[in-house]
Structure 1
Amino acid sequence: MDTTLLHQYQLVLSSREALLNYCETIRPEHLAQPIPSYNNDSMGSLMRHVANTYLGWLLNFLQQEQHPYFTEDNHKNLPAIRSMFEQVNLVVNNFLQQYKDDLTAPLNLPREGETKLTLTPLELFTHVITHEYHHKGQLANMSRQLGYIPVDTDVIRD
């Protein structure tokens, strides 16, 4: 049993918690404010997009479950955003438990109207966490555009 990815996800959780704690300092209306340079997305809607990406790849795509995606109501305030990520954590933990014994097994993923996509559990996990980190940087930039000074949310931080 390989627990490396479980440990790695703990680092993701720590980094995410630093971001969410920082978001506690941001006025709620700013979390919902559209940012023109980000296609009029808000910080809350971008966090919803991150959460939906976990659902999309690890549930709806891989498991072929039709779990409903998070909606606009799920990012209206920070408690709702935290709740959304609590659900994501369950999905990730289930995924990691399911594939803990063979992270390199090829998984054939059906794609509507296209040929199958073959990925490993390791590739899928890497994709969703790097996707989150990509957007975490954008969230820091968005908050800066709203007049805030972002905190360090890296895995290694002071």
Structure 2
Amino acid sequence: MQLLFKYNWMVREDWFRWCDELSEEELLQNRPGGMGSILHTLFHIIDVEWSWIRLLQGKADFQESFEEYNSLEKVRKLEAEFHLEVENFVNQWDDSMEERLLHNTLADGRIETHTWGEVIRHTIVHEIHHIGQLSIWAREMGREPISANLIRRGLSSSLKD
């Protein structure tokens, strides 16, 4: 599980560097799917990751709107601010946490119950899903997307010298 979070963070950083070459107009251009723009989708990925981790820790959910973070610099700063807490939680994960229950109250007052294992895996695949959308938009722009390849990223500690 930790390997997949590290993968997501590595790919996310690659996308941030990829975005450095785009204009603000290209980052904010309305696009079909995702959250409607490249930058809003990156913001959403960060928001969802941090929000779920905070809920698992019994802390308040993140409630900021994208309008307050509508530049690449602001989204990167937000990611840096949230990352340490997320990384600390992920690195402390152990098998005893798998079956713990999260009772999440929805906006309409209904309560959903999920295992922590479900939530953590949802958080991982949520980002991978949106990275796929960024890849499609990159190709539509005539640009090479960031590789989604997990292999050759040096993430497997068992193969390191």
* Structure 1: distance between partners of 2:110 and 2:127: 26
Letter in 2 for 1:155: L
* Structure 2: distance between partners of 1:98 and 1:142: 35
Q: Hey, what does 1:123 align to over in structure 2?
A: 118
1:27 equivalent in alignment to 2:18: no
Q: CA deviation at 1:154?
A: 2.9
| Aligned mate of 1:53, from 48, 58, 72 | 48
Q: Hey, what does 1:16 align to over in structure 2?
A: 12
| Aligned mate of 2:78, from 64, 69, 84 | 84
Q: Hey, what does 1:148 align to over in structure 2?
A: 143
Q: Secondary structure at the match of 1:156?
A: coil
1:137 equivalent in alignment to 2:136: no
Q: CA RMSD in A?
A: 2.6
The CA deviation string for residues 110-154 of structure 1, in whole angstroms up to 9 with x for no partner, is 32432440312x322211111001000101212322332323243
* Structure 2: distance between partners of 1:97 and 1:30: 35
Q: Secondary structure at the match of 2:104?
A: strand
The CA deviation string for residues 76-96 of structure 1, in whole angstroms up to 9 with x for no partner, is 222222122223322322322
Structure 1 unaligned segments of length 5 or more: list them.
none
Map 1:62-77 → 2, pairs under 5 A: 62-73=56-67, 75-77=69-71
Q: Hey, what does 1:105 align to over in structure 2?
A: 99
Which runs of at least 4 in structure 1 moved beyond 4 Å after TM superposition?
Answer: none
What TM-score do the two structures reach when normalised by structure 1? 0.77
For the Cα contact (< 8 Å) 1:43–1:139, is it kept in 2? yes
Q: CA deviation at 1:28?
A: 2.3
Sequence identity, in percent? 24
What TM-score do the two structures reach when normalised by structure 2? 0.76
Structure 2 unaligned segments of length 5 or more: list them.
154-161
